[in-house]
């Protein structure tokens, strides 16, 4: 039994070293981490956490609709995690796709150039510029700090929800349609002055 375990382990290690098994080598090894109920958020030094949660613009009605009460005295990272949890629940409700044991990852890049370099490293260059993307294989949302907004994060959370809800994933076009619908429903509407 031990002999077979060693052979299988060696084979797996060989495939990993040769690049036959995809890895999430995205340069976030030294990133800071915030944990919430539904997401672990990694961000690089220099990223303004206060700016991130302000970009999400979670309002009291969002909190009320998810049954949460806004806590006071939270650190910026804790507040960010709470707001992401609220958006996750709202997206699940809008899509009528409730996930009870979900845990994903959000990685916040310092800027768009870095985000696009990570995409190119993971999937190869296609010449497009991105503000965010969702990696299904590793259940990771990537977004740049400069594009960390309610609309963009909601869209990517919807992709994560859709990919975990269905046993067989719908086509890319259907996923984009559903993610766009969730984004539209949660779109921040500027207050009238």
pLDDT in tens, 82-96: 999 999 999 999 999
Domain boundaries, the chain: 21-185
Instruction: In whole angstroms, give the CA distance from residue 100 to residue 127.
Output: 37
Q: What is the pLDDT of residue 59?
A: 83
Instruction: In whole angstroms, give the CA distance from residue 1 to residue 179.
Output: 47
Confidence class of residue 18 from pLDDT cuts 50, 70 and 90?
very low
Average pLDDT of every residue of the chain:
84
Q: What is the pLDDT of residue 57?
A: 87
Q: What is the pLDDT of residue 40?
A: 95
Per-residue pLDDT tens digits for 155-166: 999 999 999 999
Q: What is the pLDDT of residue 188?
A: 57
Tell me the pTM.
0.81
Tokens describing residue 87: 């958006």
Q: Helix or strand or coil: residue 57?
A: coil
> In this model, does residue 22 exceed pLDDT 50?
no
| pLDDT (mean) for 7-25 | 49
21-185 folds as Collagenase (Catalytic Domain) (3.40.390)
Q: What is the pLDDT of residue 11?
A: 52
Q: What is the pLDDT of residue 61?
A: 81
Q: What are phi and psi of 103, to 5 degrees?
A: -145, 115
- The answer to whether 174 touches 134, Cβ cutoff 8 Å, is no
């Amino acid at each position: 039994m031990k002999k077979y375990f060693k052979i299988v382990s060696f084979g797996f290690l060989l495939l990993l070293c040769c690049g036959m098994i995809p890895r999430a080598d995205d340069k976030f090894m030294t990133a800071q981490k915030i944990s919430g109920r539904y997401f672990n958020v990694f961000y690089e030094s220099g990223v303004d956490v206060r700016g991130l949660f302000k970009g999400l613009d979670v309002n009291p009605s969002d909190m009320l609709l998810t049954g949460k009460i806004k806590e006071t005295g939270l650190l910026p990272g804790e507040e960010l995690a709470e707001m992401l949890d609220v958006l996750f629940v709202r997206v699940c409700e809008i899509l009528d796709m409730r996930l009870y044991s979900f845990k994903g990852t959000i990685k916040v890049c310092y800027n768009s150039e870095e985000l696009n370099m990570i995409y190119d490293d993971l999937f190869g260059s296609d010449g497009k510029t991105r503000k965010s993307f969702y990696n299904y294989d590793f259940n990771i949302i990537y977004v740049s700090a400069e594009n960390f907004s309610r609309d963009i994060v909601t869209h990517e959370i919807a992709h994560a929800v859709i990919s975990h809800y269905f046993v067989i994933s719908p086509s890319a076009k259907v996923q984009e349609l559903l993610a766009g619908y969730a984004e539209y429903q949660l779109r921040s509407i500027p207050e009238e002055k």
